[in-house]
Chains A and B, each alone.
Chain A
């Protein structure tokens, strides 16, 4: 078997007294689409940031295609494309300008027109970022994540805040990523079920369960993935962790 695209072993990260990622281990095979599913505050985004080398872990180890994203930062960034949650772009630049700028960062980028067609933004090429709709901005951020022909793509909360039609278009785009290894962070069951080969259920900074959607449903003796999530993590989706809220 090939080496894994991503391997995380006993990853830990804390911010002050808050433990964001606590002994998280994960293996993502090349070419697969892995979903990371969890409530808000479960540590999904921190996990992504550790994989992308945007933060250094406090403990444990992570590799992307065998490289350490923190120490071999430059090498990892050439093979990794990310779409980050809540990250904006230069708002006065147009779609085409942004795509060209991001393409210029990589040694052998995808052609601009190919990228724009892939995410259906050819018509908006001269539209400034600040004037794009939420769905268009998200699609642009996918195009930028794919600009450098990455081997591994991380998509963080891809469809959060989009209307049902825009969500389906995003899914269609992700379904075209057949060459790449994709890590899809989400808290939407239907999305993960439709797009992912395997799903990691994350709770309190750990992987609570990992398997294909069907396996997880079977293991939990549940009717669907939604119920399996509840059984396997003891949590309800779409709500933040309330544990430390107003305890007194």
Chain B
């Protein structure tokens, strides 16, 4: 085989390269940043909850020098941030893109619409991490919050939480017919899972049976996993398994039902 004959086709990549993926992610980030209203809820609401419950919770030592703030409030706030961005915000963007033909237009270029999906999720995850960092920073600076006893377990729980929330968000993006219904479905899913997972006043206020079920749903399992990591108890295998299995199942459902237009 000769490397350079007249018949050798011009060697250029069939698909856009890394630079194009990065540029698209930057564009998606600009879209999110310029949608100012969309930033307030995922950052503001969890901070509000943190501030409201932090001062009392930071007094009550639960275990190993960790207070109720560390073990209950912070895991809850983290899960809220990731859930809001993953289940509500990201699908609403994707759904709007589908409705207005943004995805259709991209589908006519060498960029596959998958690039948009990946860029959206990347931006959503970055936004979640930023939200978490802000919340944790405030908790540390003003309320003396402390890091998790089992840091690797906390990071693992965080990864699983991100995976499950964004996979659920992709299901919403896949099945919601309009942008408005995506917001509605996302909010219902988020609030429902959150309510069963102790978002409103803790699990203790729920009936025993409901609390049991909620613990095995993504929101409750995520809070429990993070909470265990903070308390240094490691992440319970079943919780991790529920999160991982739900993430995989949701991703499959989303992939099967996703439509570009």
Contact = CB atoms under 8 A, between A and B. Distances in A.
Interface of A: 52-54, 74-75, 77-78, 80, 82, 84, 86-93, 97, 100-102, 104-108, 128, 144, 148
Which 6 A-B residue pairs are closest in the complex by CB-CB distance? A87-B101, A107-B12, A88-B100, A104-B20, A92-B34, A87-B105
Nearest to B16: A105
Contacts of B62: none
A52 B108 contact: yes
Contact of A97 (B30, B100, B105): B30
Main DSSP-derived SS at the A contact region: loop
B35 A92 contact: yes
B207 interface: no
A83 B212 CA distance: 54
A182 B105 CA distance: 18
20 contacts: A53-B108, A74-B15, A78-B110, A84-B101, A84-B108, A87-B101, A87-B102, A87-B105, A88-B100, A88-B102, A90-B27, A92-B31, A92-B35, A93-B27, A100-B23, A101-B24, A104-B16, A104-B24, A107-B12, A128-B34
Between A77, A80, A84, A148, the greatest number of chain B beta carbons within 10 A of the residue's beta carbon is seen for A77
Contacts of A148: 109-110
Contacts of A97: 27, 30
Given A74-B15, A78-B110, A84 B104 contact: yes
Nearest to A53: B108
Contacts of A144: 105
B105 A84 contact: yes
Main DSSP-derived SS at the B contact region: helix
Given A52-B108, A106-B109, A144-B105, 4 more contacts: A84-B105, A92-B31, A92-B34, A93-B30
A91 B14 CA distance: 27
A68 to B, nearest CB: 15
A104 B19 contact: yes
Contact of A77 (B24, B31, B100, B110): B110
Given A54-B107, A77-B109, A86-B101, A101 B13 contact: no
B114 to A, nearest CB: 13
Contacts of B101: 84, 86-88
Contacts of B16: 104-106
A108 B23 contact: no
A77 B146 CA distance: 53
A74 B15 CA distance: 7
Contacts of A75: 14
B104 A54 contact: yes
